[in-house]
Structure 1
Amino acid sequence: MAKAKGGFTGSSSLEDELSCSICLSLYRNPVAFSCGHSFCKQCAQQVLRAQKQANAPYSCPVCRVELGPILELHKNFHLCSIVEVYLSHNEKQDEGVAVEEDAVPCDLCLDKPQAAVKMCLVCDASLCQAHLDKHSARASQRDHILVEVGKSGSTEERRCQEHGRVLEYFCQNEGLFICVLCSITGSHKGHEILTLKEAHDKNMDDLSRTVDRLQGYKSDISTTLEELQRNKDRIKTNTKTVTSQLQKLFGEIKAQINKKEKKILSDIQSTEKSQLAEFAKLKRELEKKREEIAQHLQSLQKIRQQSNTFCLVKEFKQVLDRTSSHKFGIRKMDMKVVQLNQGNINSFQTWLLDSSSLLDKQLQAVHRLLTNQITWNR
């Protein structure tokens, strides 16, 4: 919890004296150890629980004096009374308004609690604006984790299910958020552990590299689509040219090769149709990949603007998992242009005069060339 406002002369120093050395907030239900040091009851229980889990002897977290195997926590009534008087005196200086029925009350406001605007996960307290300002003013509490009040599941989501402590670290080995006990005595002991700030910085670097990678894929796809369009035009131009040449050749030898003329023209058109169909299929695939990349880029841009470290790491991991499951590789095509030159035509005419069987062989050779004019490079 944060401390109460205003009041006694020298309030800041008195407030420090009345603050728990573990949570750095005013004592709540203070208990005393045998060494004389006092702590909030909840803080003391958490320390003792952690020492027990680590199979370490009970000791005071301040002076490190061992407390014995059997420990009873006795309430410090005198200190509790001093804190209550201090809070009561300070609260009389405040003019708060009653909290609305649907609002979460501040844990530090006494007579007239005001609506809480943030919740500190470390202090386990809901704070109104006045107490939030005082909470954030202390250097020792500036790194505490604050979340929005009233968001369902936000508090539980940020706490360790095993130890009940705030998730302040990130395990690189397993890609999980963990608490300090998980890294010291839990299943993540010995793993590569990062603070949330370090995880944030690393993910920002990974995010930038991912954006660059996807932009590179997008650029390659755009270039391939342009090349695809050029090859499509070349197919049509090449087909038109070959068709014209063949029509002229067949015109000169009308009666003899009329049947052959119709067959080869039909084969050319069929080849063009199948090739253009393959082009259309590849174009649809590339456009779909480009759209998917654009959507991923849009999601990453939104994540880049995310101020909440937890949400940024979580959402970026989700986007990274989605992008890694997609294949954005590009299959290209190598196109060979085939044309009939004058030498081919002269050869045809010579061979036509020699034998119709030779003509058949030449027409079959041209048909094979036209059919194989494009090589797919996958």
Structure 2
Amino acid sequence: MAKMLKKLQEELICSVCLDIYRNPVCLSCGHSFCEECIQSLLRNQLRPQNFFNCPLCGAQEATPTKLQPNVQLRSVVQNFLDTSKESATTEEKPKHEMECEGDAWREGENSDVRDEEILCDFCLREPQPAVKTCMTCEASMCQAHLGKHSTKAFLASHVLVEPCDARVLAARRCAQHGKLLECYCVTDSVCVCILCCATNSHKSHEIISMEEAFGQAQNDFSGTLQQLKNHEAEVNRSLENLLSHQGKIKALESSHRNHLEKSFNAIHEQLDRRKAEILGAISAIEEEQLSHTETRIKEHKEMKDAVSSDVQELEALRNQKDPVLFVKGLSAVQARKQKQVPSNDDEELAELLSAMDGSIRETIQELFQPYAHLIVHTMPSEESLPVHEHLTFESCQASGFHVEDKVLTVVKQRDLYFPYEWNNVPFWVYSTESFCNGQHFWEVITSKSSCWKVGVSDNCLQCYLEESHSHLRVFLDKNQIKSQPLKTDIRKVRVELDCERKTVSFLYMSGKKRSGFPSRCVPIATVKIPVCYPVFAAFSISNGSLSLS
């Protein structure tokens, strides 16, 4: 009798709670469960479009609005309980409780660790840690419920993975069809389900299995990681150069500020007004340069943070064993475009140096020439000031031009409506003097011409300042370096050549004068020139005349 009761009891066990049925209800697939168990599953198990899977056979059906009681099974259960009442109250212990006691948490274990565990979805009284997650059932199971799940032959095709939470389960399913992501679309670099492969969106694309995609992703992982690390190193190098450039600007400003202070202290009563003007210009240039550099530093830091984040994400992905998550993670990182690291140049630094030096030289040479020897002795730098070269034109023969020692004149007016033709085939006149070392400057009176070029040449390459059509333009051969509209009449142009630094600076003096003061030299641009010495002063003109000062 006891043996028959035990065998009957095995047939009356709910597959969810592993206890005897309590108020059994029936699903449309024919399987029965405790009413409390099935209600709990309906609350916790989320399916797209409100569908529900049978915990036993996995059959998908619409979420029932009302559970149908299994009257016949309920009668059988009641008869069994009445027959075995005495033994059930003294000896029988629910199978679920016995298995939970065997896997109970060790006394004193930290509760925070328990919270991090993936718990069994079928345990109703005290959920136990899950050992597997069924992707078909979308449920995590403890060892006891996994054993029950594995004994069913029709569940053998279900996909079992390591325990994972609802977020990971959702990531492994197609958002459109709710099917498992079992394939990979090489054309679009995305994980897809079987239905996606059959629809128009991926029908003609190259599709491979998830296992093959996982293998390819593992092969690409090292290369992608190394590429990101190289990019990170390049960003770091560029950032270090910018920080160094920032330090140079600050040091240069400090050095020239001290230089100015020592110079102006000797003649402060006469230089107060001029000193304030120059220091203001220096501060404005410094602020502009530092602002530009700080903006670039910020951009580089953002690039560094972005690539560091990608590297960290890939490092974290290294140990990912799940093929889908590994492929999706690597594809997401590879899809992010990496900004090209901009190159650094010191053109702004050279312009800053030229502007500061030009202001100092202008004050010394034009306003207080009698005191120049006193100021030069106080300068901490051993560099000599640029020498004013009083040039003459080299003799030449050309139709429509007249050349004297210091005057170049257009006898026959050239057509100003075709500036590009003039640019392509200019007529150049060179100085009789050439330069191989040192610092030099010369001045050219341009007030009698509206279309001219002034610069330097090594017979192969020209660097020059041009005025045409009310614009000032700076060229290095045929490459335009700078262009700006001309807002005032230019009276005189000054060209400064530094053979050691290989730079040419252009400044101009406007036609307007202030009472008691000569007009200021206004810096235009400083250009680095890849020349071969000797270098000659070069001139070209399309109308009027040029005169060497």
TM-score, structure 2 normalization: 0.37
CA separation of 1:316/1:259 partners in 2, compared to 1, >3 Å: closer, same or farther? same
Q: Distance in 2 between matches of 1:284 and 1:163?
A: 44
What amino acid maps onto 1:330 in structure 2? P
Per the alignment, residue 307 of structure 1 pairs with 321
Q: Distance in 2 between matches of 1:172 and 1:146?
A: 26
Per the alignment, residue 365 of structure 2 pairs with 348
Per the alignment, residue 234 of structure 1 pairs with 248
What amino acid maps onto 1:332 in structure 2? N
Q: Distance in 1 between matches of 2:262 and 2:167?
A: 79
Per the alignment, residue 523 of structure 2 pairs with 368
Q: Distance in 1 between matches of 2:366 and 2:175?
A: 88
- Find the residue that maps to 2:161 and give its secondary structure: strand
Q: Which moved more, 1:259-268 or 1:175-184?
A: 175-184
What amino acid maps onto 1:348 in structure 2? Q
RMSD (Å) for aligned C-alpha atoms: 5.1
User: Equivalent of 2:301, from 287, 295, 298?
Assistant: 287
Q: Distance in 1 between matches of 2:167 and 2:271?
A: 82
Matches within 5 A, 1:99-118: 100=100, 103=120, 117-118=131-132
What amino acid maps onto 1:240 in structure 2? S
Q: Distance in 2 between matches of 1:286 and 1:296?
A: 15
What amino acid maps onto 2:281 in structure 1? D
CA separation of 1:150/1:271 partners in 2, compared to 1, >3 Å: closer, same or farther? closer
What amino acid maps onto 1:276 in structure 2? L
TM-score, structure 1 normalization: 0.51
Q: Is 2:239–2:297's contact at 8 Å kept on the other side of the alignment?
A: yes
1:195 to partner: Cα distance: 1.3
User: Equivalent of 2:342, from 304, 319, 330?
Assistant: 330
Matches within 5 A, 1:1-378: 98=96, 100=100, 103=120, 117-119=131-133, 121=135, 145-148=159-162, 151-152=165-166, 158=172, 166-180=180-194, 183=197, 188-250=202-264, 254-321=268-335, 323-324=336-337, 327=339, 329-330=341-342, 332-334=344-346, 335-336=349-350, 337-338=353-354, 340=357, 348=365, 352=369, 360-361=518-519, 364-365=520-521, 368=523
Q: Is 1:169–1:180's contact at 8 Å kept on the other side of the alignment?
A: yes
What whole-Å deviation, never above 9, does each CA across 1:348-367 have from its counterpart, x for those lacking one? 169846x9999744xx33x6
CA separation of 1:145/1:331 partners in 2, compared to 1, >3 Å: closer, same or farther? farther
Q: Is 1:104–1:115's contact at 8 Å kept on the other side of the alignment?
A: no
Q: Distance in 1 between matches of 2:278 and 2:363?
A: 19
Q: Distance in 2 between matches of 1:119 and 1:227?
A: 52
1:307 to partner: Cα distance: 1.0
Q: Distance in 2 between matches of 1:149 and 1:230?
A: 52
1:315 to partner: Cα distance: 3.0
Q: Is 1:105–1:115's contact at 8 Å kept on the other side of the alignment?
A: no
Give the structure with the larger helix fraction: 1
- Find the residue that maps to 2:212 and give its secondary structure: helix
What amino acid maps onto 1:265 in structure 2? L
- Find the residue that maps to 1:194 and give its secondary structure: strand
CA separation of 1:345/1:149 partners in 2, compared to 1, >3 Å: closer, same or farther? closer
CA separation of 1:351/1:201 partners in 2, compared to 1, >3 Å: closer, same or farther? farther
- Find the residue that maps to 1:270 and give its secondary structure: helix
Give the structure with the larger strand fraction: 2
Q: Is 1:122–1:144's contact at 8 Å kept on the other side of the alignment?
A: yes
Per the alignment, residue 32 of structure 1 pairs with none
What amino acid maps onto 2:209 in structure 1? T
What amino acid maps onto 1:236 in structure 2? K
Q: Is 1:120–1:146's contact at 8 Å kept on the other side of the alignment?
A: yes
CA separation of 1:267/1:346 partners in 2, compared to 1, >3 Å: closer, same or farther? closer
Q: Distance in 2 between matches of 1:256 and 1:157?
A: 78
What amino acid maps onto 1:300 in structure 2? L
Q: Distance in 1 between matches of 2:175 and 2:268?
A: 88
Amino-acid identity (%): 26
Q: Distance in 2 between matches of 1:215 and 1:205?
A: 17
Q: Is 1:352–1:358's contact at 8 Å kept on the other side of the alignment?
A: no
Tell which has more relative contact order, 1 or 2 (C-alpha 8 A, sep 6+).
1
1:280 to partner: Cα distance: 2.7
1:206 to partner: Cα distance: 4.3
Q: Is 2:120–2:142's contact at 8 Å kept on the other side of the alignment?
A: no
CA separation of 1:197/1:248 partners in 2, compared to 1, >3 Å: closer, same or farther? same
What whole-Å deviation, never above 9, does each CA across 1:276-310 have from its counterpart, x for those lacking one? 23333332332233223222221221112111111
Q: Distance in 2 between matches of 1:123 and 1:256?
A: 93
Per the alignment, residue 68 of structure 1 pairs with none
Per the alignment, residue 35 of structure 1 pairs with none
Q: Distance in 1 between matches of 2:143 and 2:248?
A: 70
**Unpaired runs of at least 5, structure 1:** 1-28, 30-41, 46-95, 107-113, 136-140
Q: Which moved more, 1:279-288 or 1:301-310?
A: 279-288
What amino acid maps onto 1:201 in structure 2? G
Q: Is 1:211–1:300's contact at 8 Å kept on the other side of the alignment?
A: yes
What amino acid maps onto 2:218 in structure 1? M
Q: Distance in 1 between matches of 2:369 and 2:248?
A: 30
- Find the residue that maps to 1:368 and give its secondary structure: strand
Q: Distance in 2 between matches of 1:346 and 1:206?
A: 65
Q: Distance in 2 between matches of 1:177 and 1:344?
A: 69
User: Paired residues, what number?
Assistant: 262
What whole-Å deviation, never above 9, does each CA across 1:215-238 have from its counterpart, x for those lacking one? 233222222232223222322332
